[in-house]
Amino acid sequence: MKKYVFRASLYLLAGTLTLSSCVVSKKKYEDLLARKNALEAEKATLTKQKTTLEQDKSSLEKERENLQQEIASLAAQKAEYERNLAKALKEGKALGENLNMSKTQIDRLNADLKAREQRLAELQRILDEKDRAVNALRSKVSNALLGFNDKDLSINVRNGKVYVSLAEQLLFKSGSTKVDPKGVEALGKLASVLKEQQDVNVLVEGHTDDVPLRPMTNMQDNWDLSVLRATEITRILTNAGVDPKRVTPSGRSLYVPLDDSKTKEARQMNRRTEIILTPKLDELFQILETT
C-alpha cells in the first residue's frame, strides 16, 4: 500500500513540475514576441527616417541643379535682349514703346538673375561649410581612434556623412551583445569627440552575417542580434555623455552586406557596426523654405 501511495505522489509531483514548466515557457515566449513586435515597429520607423533623409538630400541636389539651369537660361535671355537692342540702335530704328519694353524686360531679368545668383551663392556657401565640417569631423574621429588596428575599424566619408565602421572582433564575441573592454575603450574615445559636436546626429547600425543564430540563444534571429548590439553601443555612447536625443540605434540584420559571397572572410567583414555621423542641415532647409 505504501508503495502505491509513493508512486501516486511521484506522478503528482511530475505533473506539477511539467505544468509549471509550460507556464514559464509560455510567459517567456510572450515576452520575446512582444520584444520582437517592438523591434519591428522601431525598424519601420528608422527605415522611414532614413528614406526621408535620403529624399531630402536628393531634393537639395536637384534644387541646386535647377537653379543653375534657371540662371543659365536667364543669362541667355538677357544676352538675346541686349543683342536685339544693340541691333535696333545700329539700324537706326525708332525705339519708342518697343525699346522701352525691351529695357524694362532687361532690367527685370537683371534683377531676377542677381537674386537667383545670390540665392545660389548662399546655398553653395552652406554646402561648402557642411563639407568642411564633415572633413573636420572625420579628422577628429580619426585622431581619436588612431591607436586601433585598421582591420578593426575604418573611417570614411560618403554622401556628406562620416561612416565609422567597427568590426565584430573589436566589439563583441560571437553571438554576444556585450561589448568587450577594448570596444568600450574605442567607443569612449569616439564619444569624447561627439560630445563636442553638438550639430551632429548619430545613427548606430548593427549588421550581421547570413548565418542563423544557434537555437540555445535567447534571441529569435539576426534581427534581434543586430538591434540589441546597436542598442548596447548606444547606451555606452550616451552613458559617456553623448546627448541621447541625437543618437538612434537600428538593426539591419544580414540584409546590407559589404560582400555577398559565402566565404569566411566575407562573413567576417559583414559582421560589423556602423556609426553614421550626419551634420544637421537646419540652416539649409530654412533657406529653401523661405524662397
Q: Are residues 160 and 232 part of one domain?
A: yes
Q: Are residues 267 and 244 part of one domain?
A: yes
Q: Are residues 272 and 167 part of one domain?
A: yes
Task: Give which of 252, 260, 254 is closest to 206, Cα–Cα.
Answer: 252
pLDDT for position 272: 97
C-alpha cell at 24: 514559464
Query: Of 100, 135, 170, which closes a domain?
Result: 135
List Cβ neighbours of 258 (8 Å cut-off, separation of 6 or more): 266, 269, 270, 272
Q: Are residues 267 and 170 part of one domain?
A: yes
Query: Of 113, 135, 157, which closes a domain?
Result: 135
**278 close to 159: Cβ distance less than 8 angstroms:** no
| Enclosing domain of residue 230 | 148-287
Is residue 36 in a domain? no
Backbone angles phi, psi at 26, to 5 degrees: -65, -40
Query: Of 135, 158, 175, which closes a domain?
Result: 135
Angle between helices 222-239 and 2-91 (to 10 degrees): 70
- CA separation for the pair 74, 79 (Å, rounded): 9
Q: Are residues 283 and 185 part of one domain?
A: yes
Q: How far is CA 142 from the centre of its chain?
A: 19
pLDDT for position 56: 65
Is residue 21 in a domain? no
- The DSSP 8-state label assigned to residue 201 in this structure reads E
**162 close to 138: Cβ distance less than 8 angstroms:** yes
Q: Are residues 215 and 131 part of one domain?
A: no
Q: How many domains does the chain have?
A: 2
- The DSSP 8-state label assigned to residue 175 in this structure reads T
Q: Are residues 127 and 152 part of one domain?
A: no
- CA separation for the pair 151, 145 (Å, rounded): 13
List Cβ neighbours of 134 (8 Å cut-off, separation of 6 or more): 157, 160, 161, 162, 279
- Which mean pLDDT values do the consecutive 10-residue runs of the chain (291 residues) have? 45 48 63 72 68 68 77 77 68 54 73 82 82 89 91 92 95 94 96 92 96 83 96 97 96 96 94 93 56 52
Rounded (5°) CA angle 143-131-259: 70
User: CA 287 → CA 7, 116, 128, 249, 281, distances in Å?
Assistant: 84, 12, 15, 30, 10
Task: Give which of 256, 244, 250, 248 is closest to 277, Cα–Cα.
Answer: 248
Q: Are residues 156 and 109 part of one domain?
A: no
Q: Are residues 177 and 113 part of one domain?
A: no
Q: What is the CA radius of gyration of the chain?
A: 31
